[in-house]
Amino acid sequence: MVTLTQSKPSITIVGGGLAGLVCSIILSRNGFPVTLFEKKTYPFHRVCGEYISNEVIAFLKSLEIDLYRFNGAKITELAISSVSGRTFKTSLDLGGLGLSRFLLDDHLYHKALASGAKVVLGIKANNISFNDNQFEVLLEDGRLITSDFVIAAHGKRSNLDKARTFFTHRSPFIGVKYHIKTDFPKNLVQLDNFKDGYCGTVKIEDDKYCLCYLSHKNNIKTHGNLLDMEKAVLYENPLLKMLFQNSEFLYSKPEVINEISFERKGLVEDHVLFCGDSAGMISPLCGNGMAIAIHSAKILSDTLIAFYKNDRKVVEDLYSQQWRRYFSQRLAVGRLTQKLFGGRITSELAVRGLQTIKPLSNFIIKRTHGAPF
């Protein structure tokens, strides 16, 4: 049993991305004392394709979060091109919304504050330990924060992951994001393959587009810098060459991240509850990590609300079971799909396959996307 010093257990959340913010909103609205630590300060840009699946819309509405208020783009079509520019196009049953993380995360941050969560910005958690049924979170300024539960929602890779198995395996992927102005369909999300990578383009709010790509780091090693790599590698795909050459790039430099890993991760380690990308990340090709982060935050928060009075193990086991039920297969199909793309021959075969075997695209989309929850 969790020994309670107050009516509801205190909860520390590390990381204020979608998973951490949604947990903080739900739990503080249900009377839990919540403190969230985020190392950055909102609003800020992050590497993300900024296509959010419509499966989250109804749930967010139930939290009085209306994603349509920002005039994002309604996305109804998907196009995938091979390295040579051969293109497969299909309509998306459920579809999604193009919206920048700059707006989305900042909006959720304000919702978290309004819900009663304490949100501390600009400070990093350096360690989490568990002793005598209590957690201690060590902050970079030396403060020790104690609580009954800790939710680790620190994203795909963080200083807090150093002791986790996946951390020791180097990951070969880098992510790069630009905001651009360009002439491009407003309702389309397009995935263009290039050698050892792929690039997504989607309209977001105002008259802006998000252009975000994932590349093997060998590309950058070979060409020395992003600009030369883009010209030598991404421009091989004629659709990407056209996009890059006919767009206005809005920021002086792109957002870049390294070491993106799709490996399996633990869901609960030393009683810490992992949520969002820190529990497992789906290939960005499947365009669904944001929905999984939000859905996993709902599952974890609902489990805590319903079972916090029971033994910790009940919460941990039920959360893990639910997480696996909803996401394990999606992540596995995502890992497989990722292998099909990013190669000259495999992307050509994959696009030809999608063009000729119609049920294949439905199969992949259905197996990597969820239903509204």
Q: Give the binding site for ligand FAD (CB under 6 A).
A: 14-20, 37-40, 47-52, 124-125, 153-156, 158-160, 175, 200, 212, 214, 260, 276-277, 281, 284, 287-291, 293
Backbone angles phi, psi at 167, to 5 degrees: -65, -30
Min dist CB 138 to ligand FAD, Å, is 10
Is 213 in a helix, a strand, or coil? strand
Task: Output 260 or 268, the one with its CB closest to ligand FAD.
Answer: 260
Task: Output 94 or 314, the one with its CB closest to ligand FAD.
Answer: 94
Q: For 124, which DSSP code?
A: -
* Bridge partners for 128 per DSSP: 137
CA distance 10 to 308: 11
Task: Output 293 or 354, the one with its CB closest to ligand FAD.
Answer: 293
Min dist CB 75 to ligand FAD, Å, is 10
- Parallel, antiparallel, or unpaired for β 118-121 and 34-38? parallel
CA distance 310 to 102: 38
- Largest Cα separation within the chain, whole Å, is 63
Task: Output 114 or 121, the one with its CB closest to ligand FAD.
Answer: 121
Min dist CB 275 to ligand FAD, Å, is 7
Task: Output 40 or 241, the one with its CB closest to ligand FAD.
Answer: 40
Task: Output 100 or 288, the one with its CB closest to ligand FAD.
Answer: 288
Taking the CA atoms of 230, 259, 268 and 305 in sequence, report the sign of the dihedral they define.
negative
Place of tokens 């989490």: 128
Min dist CB 189 to ligand FAD, Å, is 8
Min dist CB 311 to ligand FAD, Å, is 27
Question: Are residues 285 and 334 in contact, defined by beta-carbon separation less than 8 angstroms?
Answer: yes
Is 106 in a helix, a strand, or coil? helix
Min dist CB 233 to ligand FAD, Å, is 16
CA distance 56 to 35: 24
